[in-house]
Structure formats: C-alpha cells, structure tokens
Amino acid sequence: MGGKQILAAMGIVAGAGLLTGCCLFSGNPTVTIVGPTTATVGQPVTFMAQATGGGGTYTYVWMGAMGQGAMATATFTSPGQQVVMVTVTDNCGKTASAQWTVTVTGDSPSGNLSGMWSGTIYDNRGDSMQFSLQLTHVGTNVTGTAYGGGLSSSGSGSYAAGQFQFQFQWWRTSTIVTLVGTYNAGANELSGDWMVGGLRGGTWRVRR
C-alpha cells in the first residue's frame, strides 16, 4: 500500500514538472492591435488584439478602451493623440503588451452639447415663451428636437469652432427657423439669435 502511494505522489510531481518544463520551453507570447487610426469625439470605435505564441489560452487587459476578451471599444471624449494599450497573459503567466495611437478630432467635453436644454425664446418685440432643445451631438453634427408651446419639431445643425447652428420648422407653420449662437461652458448655456430667411427674429437662451 505504502509503495503505491509513493508512486502516485511521484507521478503527480513528475506531471507538475512536465507542465513547468512545457512553460519553460513555450517561448513568450506576442500581441498586436488592429483598429482605426482616426476617430471622432463621441463616436465609438472598435479594436482587436491578435496574440500568438507562448503557452496559448490568453487573457486580455485593456487600457484606454473597454475590453471583452480580444475585442475592445472606446468612445473618446477629447481630441488629440489618444493611446489604447493591451496586455495579454498566456497560461504560463508570460505577458506581452502592445499600444495603438488614434488621432481624435472633434470638440472637447466642454463643447459636447448632448442633453436637454431649457430656457426662453424671445421675438423682436420682447414677447417670450418657454423653449427647450433635446440635442444629440456627435463630432460636428447636431440633431434633436425643439419644444415650445407644448409642441415639438425635429431639426439638425452643427457645432464647430465654438459656433452653434440648428434649424427646425416652427410649430404649426411651414417656416424654417435657424438658431445661431455660441456655447458658454462656464454657465453651461447656449444662446444667440434666431433667424428666418436671413432676417433676425429675436433671441434665445437655454441651459442644461
């Protein structure tokens, strides 16, 4: 009985030694990243890690992106050169890392206009009404809905170089109104003039 137990224990130790030896001779893993080299603020992009060598059965840790195994996504919130990095670990505990640089264009977080804005719109006589904008801002493009007098109207526009523009159809009419203005990041406020056919109809001001 004792001899069989000793032989069994020796077999376990020998097996462990073979596994260790396999890892010793497996070499180191390598990894590269495949993905876009350009992106826009607020627009999600996808990256893929390609690992080879080593002991196989890799795990992945991403920096600068949200990873699901070998795949990761990132939505950059500021322009400039952004870096995504991944580190892989094989089943022997050996690691390898790679990084990828993305050139991001668009407005910084202080200039992202997505959300609900509420305030007042005035005409040239000083009359006013409650006014709101529900905006979605991606890159330089702005889409959304204008609300006033209990009615709504969809529209679109742009925001670039600090200048805001949004067009919508005035409620219950065929008149196209263009909002032009600027964004005050400190006050988190959009304000400016509204135009009809190139003529100034009044002013508007909303806050988020």
Write out pLDDT tens, residues 179-188. Answer: 999 998 778 8
Last residue of a domain, one of 105, 139, 172: 105
DSSP state of 170: P
| Domain final residue, candidates 105, 132, 159 | 105
Residue 1 lies in a domain: no
- Are 97 and 116 within one domain? no
Per-residue pLDDT, 8: 42
Contact 50, 58 (CB under 8 A): no
Verify that 115 and 198 share a domain, yes or no: yes
C-alpha angle 152-142-133 in degrees, rounded to nearest 5: 35
State which residues form the domain around 74. 26-105
Last residue of a domain, one of 105, 136, 158: 105
Q: 158-189: buried (b, 16+ CB within 10 Å) or exposed (e) per residue?
A: ebeeeebbbbbebeeeeeebbbbbebeeeeeb
10-residue mean pLDDT series, the chain (208 residues): 44 42 77 94 89 90 90 84 93 93 76 91 95 92 95 94 92 96 87 95 96
Q: What is the 3-state secondary structure (H, E, C) of 77-108?
A: CCCEEEEEEEEEECCCCCEEEEEEEEEEECCC
Between β-strands 71-74 and 128-138, what pairing exists: parallel, antiparallel or unpaired? unpaired
Which residues share a beta bridge with 147? 132, 152
Say if pTM beats, i.e. exceeds, 0.75: no
* Domains identified in the chain, total number: 2
Nearest to 85 by CA among 49, 45, 42: 49
The CATH number assigned to the domain holding 171 equals: 2.40.128.120
Nearest one of 150, 144, 153 to 175, comparing CA atoms: 153
